Structure 1
Amino acid sequence: MKKNELLAALEQRLGRLHARQRLGIEADHEAQVFGQGLNFFHIENWYSVHSVIRNTLKLCGLYWRGRKNAERIVVKTNHVPSSRLPAQFDGFTILHISDTHVDMNQRAMQRLAELVTGLQYDICVLTGDFRGATFGPFDAALNGMERLVAHLKPPIFGVLGNHDTIQMLPELEAMGIRMLQNECDVITRGEESIYLAGIDDAHYFRVDNIEKAAAAIPEGTFAILLSHTPEIYRQAAHAGFDLLLSGHTHGGQICLPGAIPITLDSVLPRRMGAGAWHYGNMAGYTSVGAGSSVVAVRYNCPPEITLHRLTRA
């Protein structure tokens, strides 16, 4: 798709302001070596350091162990009880996949495809970071996502992460993924409904708009928010969401024994950096991700996909 055609398509899909804002920030980011704002000198953007980390791990004899760890994706189950859940949705199951970085580790993605094929779930949600790099070409990421989506059952919903370019949006949607860009969809069973909203990246691009995403959700109904980062937990809770599903942190990816993260690259309490948590009346879950970032290794933090089972409290 040519640049002017892409811009026209994105403006029609997202609105002129959102499309131009996201594309403009991406262009600014592409022009800088080390990123900007919170990500200035961030290791994700400082690509020369990636090979240094990789070579250091090889010299220490740890690299190949970390590579194998990154391929051992596990399936976790998380139970979400709620008195607000409609009776028709008791037992409703959500497959949650995050931070695939599909072009980083082909063996891990093959394992992921094998795992999802035999799972039973009602909907699948993808909470961003489909691409390995934070800028540059994205064809490999789109090809990898197309292979993965072939193994998933619809309906599939998704949001973009800080590694993803808005230019991927048309092709992701063409694969059958309903991308929620500060938008909301209704999921209906019989005469009862729940609401699923999603926001654009709030970590780097700062183009999230929870108010717009939640505008059509009636008061008192059960609502789920998809966000790449859990850092917007306060805003989500006070907006009345019952469940926040996110990723981004990788659980630290390289952790000390006991799954203690060295860094989470997020501004939030450490208890929210991985797994299930609560804030006020809202339940939350931060996936440690199915893929790996910077270097395709993991230590004391196995990659995961999660089945969230909603039940009436």
Structure 2
Amino acid sequence: MEPITAKAADILGFLQPDEVVRALDGRLGRVHARQRLGIEDEHETQAFGQGLTFVHLENIPLSRAILHVLLRISGIYWRGVENARKIELRRNVISSSRIDPAFDGFAILHLSDLHADMSARAMRRVAEIASGLSYDLCVLTGDYRGETFGPYVSCVRELGELRDALKGDIFAVLGNHDSIRMVPDLERMGVKFLLNENVALARGDARIYLAGVDDAHFYRVDNIEKATTGIPDDGYSILLSHTPEIYRQAAHAGFDLMLSGHTHGGQICLPGGIPVTLESNLPRRMGRGPWRYGEMAGYTSAGAGSCIVPVRFNCPPEMTLHVLRTSA
């Protein structure tokens, strides 16, 4: 079936709540779907004690108000807003002897932390840059919504507009800001989610494997063992995870490359790009850009959008073009 474009999605309308539940039952299986929905309903607004970190500032409305006041009093708020619109295109080369020569030069466009409904102007710039790029695959590593709870229709509409600027296959995972209820509408638009699943990518007789896990940071519904099912030991494999915090599990599971986001690179950083906080249990060297753990390469995107407050300081928003290279 041909992917539904944003305009077609507007004509068809969004699925109703009961239709979403039925779609998720069919997509995940009834037990998995009801468990996932139940976990989300119980915890989506929880500010303390849930997930990999104890405190979740994004779930505390007062934290946003305090940051807004402080930034406005300091006189730098509007400079931060302007910074948040200046998307940078970063390029990252990944070399490995395990990459089949057929995939030498394979390009992956990586978008993360779009927070599309509160970063609309940044999304226009992402679409503008993406429309002029050549790549083989697009991956999205979560956090599409600005809030962590509540309505998501405006977010999905923004993503629909961005979808029109993207080419080819698009694979995605969910982040801690996202509702599982978003999945059916986004998949109707041609965004394929990997919910503890994997897919083989083919070039002739050669294969590489792309896996994705459900949110591991807040909802803790990731299952790496399930995500690796069917991936051969000699197959080059890439893991999409919203958070890089599960880097140890991913490396020990045999993944060659892990693509993530979540940290925003700090979003508000000191001069020199030193993050005030990464809001994660993660070594700072893994908070932004390329890194390595054991035999596994990794990349943490600083994200294209902003959350809590729509500003950035000393940490430009980014979209990333990863290029696979076969090494001797």
**TM over 0.5, shorter chain:** yes
Runs ≥4 residues deviating over 6 A: none
Answer yes or no: is the 8 Å Cα contact 2:142–2:172 preserved in 1: yes
5+ residue gaps, structure 2, are 1-14
Does residue 1:138 correspond to 2:181, yes or no?
Answer: no
SS of residue in 2 equivalent to 1:193: strand
Q: Who is 1:64 aligned against?
A: 78
Distance in 1, matches of 2:122 and 2:162, equals 11
CA deviation map 1:110-137 (0-9, x unaligned): 1111111101100000000000000001
Distance in 2, matches of 1:41 and 1:154, equals 38
Distance in 1, matches of 2:221 and 2:66, equals 33
Q: Who is 1:3 aligned against?
A: 17
- Could you state the TM-score of these two structures normalised by the residue count of structure 2? 0.92
Number of aligned positions between the proteins: 312
Distance in 1, matches of 2:32 and 2:261, equals 23
Matched letter for residue 256 of structure 2:
D
Distance in 1, matches of 2:128 and 2:240, equals 25
- Could you state the TM-score of these two structures normalised by the residue count of structure 1? 0.97
Matched letter for residue 47 of structure 2:
F
Matched letter for residue 291 of structure 1:
G
Matched letter for residue 111 of structure 2:
I
Q: Who is 1:228 aligned against?
A: 242
Answer yes or no: is the 8 Å Cα contact 1:29–1:35 preserved in 2: no
Answer yes or no: is the 8 Å Cα contact 1:29–1:36 preserved in 2: no
Matched letter for residue 34 of structure 1:
A
Does residue 1:22 correspond to 2:36, yes or no?
Answer: yes
Does residue 1:78 correspond to 2:97, yes or no?
Answer: no
Q: CA deviation at 1:34?
A: 3.0
CA deviation map 1:232-262 (0-9, x unaligned): 1111111111100000000000011111111
Which range is displaced more, 7-16 or 223-232?
7-16
Q: CA deviation at 1:41?
A: 4.7
Matched letter for residue 166 of structure 1:
I
Q: Who is 1:109 aligned against?
A: 123
CA deviation map 1:131-156 (0-9, x unaligned): 00000010111001001011000111
Does residue 1:244 correspond to 2:258, yes or no?
Answer: yes
Distance in 1, matches of 2:38 and 2:200, equals 31
**Match runs of 1:246-261 below 5 Å:** 246-261=260-275
Q: Who is 2:47 aligned against?
A: 34
Q: CA deviation at 1:26?
A: 1.5
CA deviation map 1:186-205 (0-9, x unaligned): 11001111000101000011
SS of residue in 1 equivalent to 2:117: coil
SS of residue in 1 equivalent to 2:129: helix
Answer yes or no: is the 8 Å Cα contact 2:117–2:154 preserved in 1: yes
Distance in 1, matches of 2:117 and 2:321, equals 24
Cα RMSD, aligned residues only: 1.3
Distance in 2, matches of 1:152 and 1:143, equals 15
Which range is displaced more, 46-55 or 150-159?
46-55
Answer yes or no: is the 8 Å Cα contact 1:18–1:207 preserved in 2: no
Q: CA deviation at 1:40?
A: 5.3
Does residue 1:305 correspond to 2:325, yes or no?
Answer: no
Q: CA deviation at 1:7?
A: 1.9
Answer yes or no: is the 8 Å Cα contact 1:78–1:306 preserved in 2: yes
Distance in 2, matches of 1:46 and 1:125, equals 30
Q: Percent identity?
A: 58
Q: Who is 2:8 aligned against?
A: none
Matched letter for residue 221 of structure 1:
G
Matched letter for residue 23 of structure 2:
A
Answer yes or no: is the 8 Å Cα contact 1:162–1:201 preserved in 2: yes
Q: Who is 1:295 aligned against?
A: 309
Answer yes or no: is the 8 Å Cα contact 2:118–2:306 preserved in 1: yes
Distance in 1, matches of 2:48 and 2:159, equals 26
Does residue 1:272 correspond to 2:297, yes or no?
Answer: no
Answer yes or no: is the 8 Å Cα contact 1:105–1:296 preserved in 2: yes
Distance in 2, matches of 1:52 and 1:233, equals 33
2:138 to 114, 120, 124: 124
Answer yes or no: is the 8 Å Cα contact 1:99–1:130 preserved in 2: yes
